[in-house]
Structure 1
Amino acid sequence: MSSRALAKPSKRIATLVKMMESLPETLQDRVVEHLREYLEDLRDEEQWNVSFQNTEQSLIVAAKRAKQEILEGKAQPLDIDIGLKIPTLADYPSRREFMQLPLEERRSILAKQAEAMLQHYREDREWQELKAGDLIDC
């Protein structure tokens, strides 16, 4: 058994347990379900933050290159004709609002975006001509 399993619960956890015990069982079930969803959202948000931190520098370099290509008149609008409207983060006032959508809805949106990008990259092979140094030399 891990030492964590044997550890005494914190005062906050003990307080939460006492509060839960004071509720009727049906309400306890509802609170537990809400807590599960909330904890899953927190884990998702933390995973998002870690993922963003791991790719932030690459995204900055890519954005600088895109700005330069726009200034040079080399950039072309991304044309993804998939016949349906896919929401993006830009459709929400804040990332927090997007993160408050139900998990399955967020996953669905992200899956549709990934499919659209996959279709784009399969049809437009220009990106394969890029060399790794092209993004870094901006």
Structure 2
Amino acid sequence: MTSSKEQSKMVDIINEQREKLNKLVTFLPKFKKKDYANYSLLLDFIQKNEGLQIYTVPTLKDATGLENDGELLNLVRYFGGGHSRLFNIHYCYYVGTDFLRINGDEFQNYLKKSIYPVDENGNEIEDFDPKNLSFYCLINYKE
């Protein structure tokens, strides 16, 4: 159970994110109404599920209704980027039920240049399968 102080902090965080999102719409007219709606849906979901600690790809897809991985990644990058900083994004590679952590640059290099990533220790990933490349997000309570 969350305390009223924790609830208040989450409400403040969500309200701040909504203000930032509204400014984005004002300054970037190309930001589509559909995108705004999906970003708002995520904020609604976070507010309703404030005890949730980890936001996986399936959770993010459920929260936003997005099925397109590229659109979902854009949303996560926005909320993990310098303007928002709502999420701490952790990139990983699943091996069965476990995972290896990978650097964000490794993740990006695979997406952009098809360069196989290495784990956070610099070790090659055996039998690399791109289907196992993923990420998850944690709420950034610090500013």
Q: With the length of structure 2 as denominator, give the TM-score of the two structures.
A: 0.30
Instruction: Point out the structure with the larger strand share.
Output: 2
Instruction: Point out the structure with the larger helix share.
Output: 1
If asked which structure has higher relative contact order (CA below 8 Å, sep 6+), I would say 1
Larger Rg belongs to:
1
Q: With the length of structure 1 as denominator, give the TM-score of the two structures.
A: 0.31
